[in-house]
Amino acid sequence: MNSHIVGVYARLVVSEGAAAIDFYRAALGATEVARYTNPAGKIVHAELDVAGTTIALKDEGDGDLAPATLGGTPVIIALQVDDADAVAGAMLAAGATVIYPVADQPHGERGGRLADPFGHQWMISQQIEDLTAAEVQRRVDGMAGG
């Protein structure tokens, strides 16, 4: 039972916290809610609001490693959007790179995956069809190698 959990948010470790905040503002329309720095000026905790959801971040250090130091990331952050092409365009204009281009997907969404300049991966998804779970599975089964 999880009755004691009152919220969940992602906390990203980045190589350049201030630059990451600037990127998330430009690419995702994020609003900075809080920023705390140590005496050396490194961000130890910052909170951003992205469409009513909190995303926190901190500079690499104190045993916390950014994706570039780790050689990648096992985490994909999913964004549900109303215009996948526009969001991907804004992210690309702000410095993101394409992992998978935005395209119509068999599960009833239009989406793709991008990497931000700090190594975090973002899956962009826009619902374009209402499908049952059985229909999605049928489509996936019909894919080559599916």
pTM above 0.75, yes or no: yes
Do residues 25 and 46 touch, judged by C-beta distance below 8 A? Answer: no
pLDDT score for 146:
47
Q: What is the largest CA-CA distance in the chain?
A: 57
Two structure tokens written together for 119: 């190594």
Q: What number of other Cβ atoms are within 10 A of residue 29's Cβ?
A: 13
Q: How confident is the model at residue 1 (pLDDT cuts 50, 70, 90)?
A: low
- Domains in the chain, please, with CATH? 10-140 (3.10.180.10)
Give the pLDDT mean for 93-112. 96
Quick: pLDDT tens for 65-80: 999 999 999 999 999 9
pLDDT score for 2:
61
Quick: pLDDT tens for 17-39: 999 999 999 999 999 999 999 99
Nearest of 43, 17, 42 to residue 30 by alpha carbon: 17
End-to-end CA distance of the chain: 35
